[in-house]
Amino acid sequence: MAKQYWLMKSEPSECSIDDAMAAPGRTVPWTGVRNYQARNFMRDAMRVGDGVLFYHSSCPEPGIAGLARVASTTRPDPTQFDPQSPYYDAASKPDAPRWLLLDVQAVRKTRLLSLAELRAEAALADLVLLRRGNRLSITPVEAAHWAHVMAMLGGAH
C-alpha cells in the first residue's frame, strides 16, 4: 500500500511541534478528536509511517510548523471517559468507545509555512485545508501537495 499524507491541526497551547519534539520518543497521543470524519480518517485510512504536516491552528499565526509521521494504530481516546477533560463525552462508554486516538511522532520542526503563504501557492489551490468552509482537524494531503510543501521547505523530509 502506498504511503499516504495527512495534515493534522493542533492548537499550540495544547500540543505544539515543540511539545511533540520534547516528548519521550518525540511521540504524542493525538487526543481530543471529536469529529466523526476526522475519527474515521484515523480509524480507516491512516497507517503507521504515513507522513504528517503538523499544523498549528487557533493561534496568532496558523501554519505548518513541522513534519511528523503516524506512529501507531488507533485505540480508544481516554479523554472521552474523563469528566475533568474538556473532551469528555458522557455518551461514550468504555465497552463501546466513540472516539479514538493514534500516536504521532515528530520528525522535525520546520520554519512556519503560514496560511497566507500556503494560499499564495497556485499549486496548493485545491489542498483540502484551503477549501472554503473546511474545519476538519485531520485532512488528507495529495502526494503532489506534499511534494510541493517539501520543496517550499527546502526539499528535506
Which tens digits make up the pLDDT trace of 75-112? 999 999 999 999 999 999 999 999 999 999 999 999 99
Phi-psi region at 32: left, alpha or beta (left = phi > 0; alpha = psi -120 to 50): left
CA distance 146 to 156: 12
Q: What kind and span of H or E run contains 146?
A: helix 143-152
Does CATH place domain 5-152 in 3.10.590.10? yes
The three three-digit cell numbers of residue 108, written as one number: 522535525
Q: Is the CB of residue 17 less than 8 Å from the CB of residue 62?
A: no
DSSP letter for 45, please.
Answer: I
Average pLDDT over residues 124-130: 95
Instruction: List C-alpha distances in Å: 144 to 13, 14, 32, 122.
Output: 31, 30, 29, 12
Q: Is the CB of residue 156 less than 8 Å from the CB of residue 150?
A: yes
User: pLDDT-based confidence at 61, cuts 50/70/90?
Assistant: very high
Convert the pLDDT of each residue in 2-43 to its tens digit.
789 999 999 999 999 999 999 999 999 999 999 999 999 999
CA distance 93 to 81: 7
Give the pTM. Answer: 0.95
Phi-psi region at 95: left, alpha or beta (left = phi > 0; alpha = psi -120 to 50): alpha
Average pLDDT over residues 45-54: 98
Residue 118, pLDDT above cutoff 70: yes
